[in-house]
């Protein structure tokens, strides 16, 4: 009796069973990953809401020395607000004036520099990508005046531009700037909303990346170092003033007058343009736009 077909049959059954087991195991692991991530995101969002509500409550006035001491304990290490995630509209570069009249060459140069810094180290970058992105944005935003967000821009793009801009508008779940670890969404650093800062950059709130696109990396580092020295006095974050910036630029043979058309110095207390909630254990995140 030839038992070879029987052996083949057992091998096939074993292979099918192994495949089904492995497939089921992978599906279970993925399900657990996404479920725990969703629970983590929900918990993070609930915590952020509770934290905002807590801040709105009026508390007991403490002696100033006690309050200062508490702040020092809570903020043992300096973290510049310019490095925090860009959830506030005033942290971003407003390119709205590129869509009006003859454009703005100075703003265009800053926007190209910012976009290049955002993507140059990532897997999506190719030489000249910043020009392609900005030209496509300007052309489509001029043609479709009803567009109010990057997400609503997508349906108006040509089939040629759609795959790239789908990636750039969505971004990755997490990223680290100036590395190939993911890549940011365009809306994390750019905005074209008309009812925000009247000039492209709100100096007091602008992110590090926006300042680097305007002043360069070295000067931006020194500006943030000055803000750190101000923080060390009472552990309260504050940007350098217009007069301090002017004196700083003079020291580096530059003139504030050359930058003023781009910078707004008014005091702003902006609402968040988006809420980003992330589960740290799985890196899953969602963006909530009001």
More confident residue, 73 or 190: 190
CB-CB contact of 81 with 210 (8 Å): no
Mean pLDDT of 55-81: 63
More confident residue, 94 or 6: 94
Number of domains in the chain: 2
CB-CB contact of 260 with 247 (8 Å): no
Give the pLDDT score at 34.
61
Residue 198 has pLDDT above 90, yes or no: no
The tokens of 193 are what? 């909303």
Give the pLDDT score at 284.
56
Q: Give a yes or no: residue 60 inside a domain.
A: no
CB-CB contact of 57 with 235 (8 Å): no
* pTM (2 d.p.): 0.72
> Do residue 38 and residue 103 come from a single domain?
no
Alpha-helical regions (H) of 57-75: 64-74
> Do residue 31 and residue 87 come from a single domain?
no
Residues with Cβ within 8 Å of 203's Cβ and at least 6 positions away in sequence, in order, are: 239, 242, 245, 263, 264, 265
At 181, is the secondary structure helix, strand, or coil?
coil
Q: In Å, how far are 162, 167, 199 from 206, measured between CA atoms?
A: 29, 25, 12
Q: Give a yes or no: residue 32 inside a domain.
A: yes
* 25-39, 82-96, 206-220, 239-253: range with lowest mean pLDDT: 25-39
* Domain boundaries, position 278: 79-288
| Tens digit of each residue's pLDDT (9 = 90 or more) over 125-162 | 999 999 999 999 999 998 988 888 898 898 989 888 89
Mean pLDDT of 109-132: 95
Mean pLDDT of 257-281: 71
């Amino acid at each position: 009796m030839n038992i070879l077909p029987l052996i083949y049959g057992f091998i096939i059954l074993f292979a099918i069973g192994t495949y089904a087991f492995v497939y089921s195991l992978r599906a279970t692991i993925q399900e657990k990953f996404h479920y725990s991530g969703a629970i983590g995101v929900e918990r993070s969002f609930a915590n952020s809401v509770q934290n905002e509500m807590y801040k709105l409550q009026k508390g007991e006035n403490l002696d100033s020395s006690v309050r200062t001491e508490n702040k020092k304990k809570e903020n043992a290490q300096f973290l510049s607000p310019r490095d925090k995630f860009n959830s506030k509209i005033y942290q971003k570069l407003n390119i709205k004036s590129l869509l009006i009249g003859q454009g703005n060459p100075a703003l265009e140069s800053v926007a190209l520099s910012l976009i290049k810094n955002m993507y140059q180290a990532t897997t999506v970058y190719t030489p000249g990508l910043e020009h392609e992105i900005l030209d496509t944005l300007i052309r489509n935003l001029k043609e479709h005046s009803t567009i109010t967000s990057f997400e609503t821009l997508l349906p108006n793009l040509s089939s040629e531009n759609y795959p790239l801009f789908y990636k750039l508008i969505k971004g990755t779940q997490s990223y680290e700037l100036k590395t190939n670890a993911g890549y940011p969404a365009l809306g994390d650093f750019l905005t074209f909303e008309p009812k925000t800062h009247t000039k492209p950059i709100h100096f007091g709130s602008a992110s590090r990346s926006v300042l680097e696109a305007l002043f360069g990396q070295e000067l931006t580092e020194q500006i943030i170092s000055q803000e750190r020295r101000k923080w060390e006095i009472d552990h309260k974050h504050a940007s350098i003033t217009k007069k301090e910036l002017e004196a700083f630029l003079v020291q580096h043979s530059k003139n504030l007058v050359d930058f003023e058309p781009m910078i707004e110095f008014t005091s702003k207390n902006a609402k968040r343009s988006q809420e980003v909630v992330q589960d740290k254990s799985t890196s899953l995140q969602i963006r909530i736009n009001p």
